[in-house]
């Protein structure tokens, strides 16, 4: 029996199922049913407050875009984790099943419904009171990006990526944080300025898994772009990665990588059009 035939039955016991996998590997299952459902080795916890507010299927470029709304839950999607960005970029699948005939075999079992309604990743998240709304970005969202990169005097590559090609071995180190005062983090034994525009990824403590941008650093500390989302205790471990200001002089002198510089520092800008003759 096909999914269309199953849905055309005079009586159906339907339930939505969400499978959400965070970038740090944490995976949860939620269902609109009033009882937990065990499907494919994952327990989908009862969360009747979770609703797909707009699921559209079609052949257009926005065919898989949708919104997911729900109530904040301390044991599933907590407000603190949501606002800290733990769920940003999480992979999400929305499926439809019959809670009386579960799709244990993901649709392969006769009579089981396991219909994929939407798939993508969580984008913008908004919070209002005790509820949240998350945008689900489908595969078509990639097409909204630029076809070719715009010219820029600064390098468009990220330090160590496929375009930059700088070997990051030796440019990352695990550090023990002494103390945190707002955006100032006490860490000893650093080369001044080496980690400016870099990143700090918390490995232990309440912020474990979160990554923060580094603005600048001295020999005994660094400055973050934003305060940590959660309190940090002395001795917390973090992975510190060097950064780059994306200037040609830095690329050549510090990294010896001017050949792979992805910018146009000598290209005349728009100010050339405004210059007076003879200026």
Tokens of residue 54, six digits: 């707009």
| Ranges of each domain in the chain | 3-142, 172-241
The CATH code for residues 3-142 is 2.30.110
Please list, in sequence order, all residues whose beta carbon lies within 8 angstroms of the beta carbon of residue 178, skipping any fewer than 6 positions away: 186, 187, 188, 234
Mean pLDDT calculated for residue range 186-214: 93
Check residue 73 and give its pLDDT.
64
Rounded CA-CA distance 29/120 in Å is 15
- Indicate whether 111 pLDDT > 60: no
Check residue 222 and give its pLDDT.
95
- Indicate whether 170 pLDDT > 80: yes
Mean pLDDT calculated for residue range 112-120: 82
Q: Indicate the class that CATH gives domain 172-241.
A: mainly beta
- Indicate whether 34 pLDDT > 70: yes
Mean pLDDT calculated for residue range 172-181: 94
Cβ(137)–Cβ(120) below 8 Å = yes
Structure-model confidence comparison of residues 211 and 12, the more confident one: 211
Q: Which of 59-63, 221-225, 232-236, 242-246 has the lowest mean pLDDT?
A: 59-63
User: What average pLDDT does the structure give for the chain?
Assistant: 82
Check residue 227 and give its pLDDT.
93
Q: Which of 4-18, 105-119, 201-215 has the lowest mean pLDDT?
A: 105-119
Rounded CA-CA distance 84/77 in Å is 12
- Indicate whether 155 pLDDT > 60: yes
Give the β-pairing of 91-98 and 14-21. antiparallel
Q: Which of 31-35, 152-156, 256-260 has the lowest mean pLDDT?
A: 31-35
Rounded CA-CA distance 99/93 in Å is 17
Check residue 107 and give its pLDDT.
45
């Amino acid at each position: 029996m096909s999914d269309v035939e199953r849905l055309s039955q005079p009586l159906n016991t339907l339930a939505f199922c969400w499978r959400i996998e965070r970038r740090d590997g944490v995976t949860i299952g939620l269902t609109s049913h009033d009882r937990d459902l065990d499907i494919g080795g994952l327990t989908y916890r009862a969360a009747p407050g979770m609703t797909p507010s707009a699921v559209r299927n079609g052949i257009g470029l926005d065919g898989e875009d949708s919104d997911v709304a729900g109530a904040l839950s301390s044991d599933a999607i907590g407000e603190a984790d949501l606002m800290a960005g733990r769920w940003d970029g999480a992979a999400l699948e929305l499926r439809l099943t019959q809670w009386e005939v579960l799709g244990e075999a993901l649709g392969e079992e006769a009579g089981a419904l396991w219909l994929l309604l939407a798939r993508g990743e969580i984008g913008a998240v908004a919070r209002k009171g005790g509820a949240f709304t998350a945008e689900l970005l489908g595969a078509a969202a990639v097409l909204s990006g630029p076809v070719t990169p715009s010219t820029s005097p600064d390098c468009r590559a990220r330090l160590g990526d496929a375009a930059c090609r700088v070997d990051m071995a030796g440019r990352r180190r695990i550090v023990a944080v002494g103390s945190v005062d707002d955006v100032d983090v006490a860490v000893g034994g650093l080369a001044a300025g080496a980690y400016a525009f870099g990143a700090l990824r918390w490995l232990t403590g309440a912020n474990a898994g979160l990554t923060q941008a580094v603005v600048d650093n001295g020999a005994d500390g660094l400055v973050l772009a934003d305060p940590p989302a959660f309190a940090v205790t002395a001795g917390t471990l973090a992975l510190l990665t060097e950064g780059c200001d994306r200037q040609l002089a830095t690329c050549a002198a510090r990294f010896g990588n001017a050949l792979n510089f992805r910018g146009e520092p000598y290209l005349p800008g728009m100010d050339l059009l405004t210059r007076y003759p003879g200026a």
